[in-house]
Amino acid sequence: MLQQTPVTRVIPHLEAWLDRWPTPPVMAAASTADVVRQWANLGYPRRALWLHRAAVEVTARHGGVVPRDVDALLALSGIGDYTARAVAVFAYGDRHPVVDTNTRRVLARAVEGRAQPSPPSRRDLTLMESLLPADDVDAAAFNAGAMELGATVCTARSPRCEICPLAGTCAWLAAGRPDTGDARRRQATYEGSDRQARGAVLRLLRDATPAPVPLDTVLPDWPDAQQRDRAIDSLIADGLAEADGEWISLPR
């Protein structure tokens, strides 16, 4: 849930989710439709699909217990470099570099003297690894500290260097907080995008009672009919929707 989504928005969703499906085997037994509905408006609904798949995989391959090994974690649906190591470090206490968007920004400033991080890269893991304390517990605290510093002090918009514990050693602050430019790619415009169309279709399918609904009742007034149909097709291709003749619904 935390992938690309603010913590404060996740927390209530997480609590409701865990109340309903407290363990992987319990979640694995749920239907895709129920999982997508429970995901509600958290965004990136493919994550709900992946989380459900991961629960099925954990149940089948690991006896219902989330694995500790990073490679086993990486093999699960929707688990990438960040999440795999976050689980291994924060749930199991092992020593790995955990690099999220906050950590990347902290490293860019404190170590590289840049105002903004470079585009995400595996090098980030290498750099974090080179800074990690030798002890497991210290390494976990270092990982969490970097993330937390980026989330609360070394923020994207208005960094609070006055209260920063790294103020004495930060390369960017020492250089006078120069504007070093931003090599990151700009986020695509949402208004009028295919993503917006997908979001609108999926919202309709989530709210549809009873399901399924006739295909020709799906956003008949959408400004771009081709875009709407593209959205429907891509949702079906992703496994987020299911069509049966002239009817469509969340997957059974």
Partner DNA sequence: CACACGTGGGT
Partner DNA sequence: TACCCAAGTGT
List of residues contacting DNA (CB under 7 A): 2-7, 9, 41-46, 50, 77-84, 86, 100-102, 105, 119-122, 147-148, 150-151, 155-158, 182, 185-188, 190, 193-196, 198-200, 202-203, 234
Residue 2 or 30 with smaller CB distance to DNA: 2
Nearest approach in angstroms of CB 66 to DNA is: 14
d(CA 29, CA 23): 10
Residue 12 or 133 with smaller CB distance to DNA: 12
Residues sharing a CB contact under 8 Å with residue 66, sequence separation 6 or more, in sequence order: 24, 58, 73, 87, 91
Q: 64, 24 in Cβ contact below 8 A?
A: yes
Nearest approach in angstroms of CB 63 to DNA is: 21
The helix/strand/coil state of 107 is helix
Residue 44 or 222 with smaller CB distance to DNA: 44
Residue 167 or 203 with smaller CB distance to DNA: 203
Nearest approach in angstroms of CB 78 to DNA is: 5
Which residues on adjacent β-strands are paired with residue 214? Answer: 247
| CB-count burial class (<10 Å; 0-12, 13-18, 19+) for 40 | middle
Nearest approach in angstroms of CB 124 to DNA is: 11
Q: 98, 105 in Cβ contact below 8 A?
A: no
d(CA 215, CA 213): 6
For 57, the token pair is: 């995989």
Residue 46 or 177 with smaller CB distance to DNA: 46
Nearest approach in angstroms of CB 194 to DNA is: 4
Among 35, 44, 57, smallest CA distance to 9 is for: 44
Nearest approach in angstroms of CB 180 to DNA is: 13
Residue 60 or 246 with smaller CB distance to DNA: 60
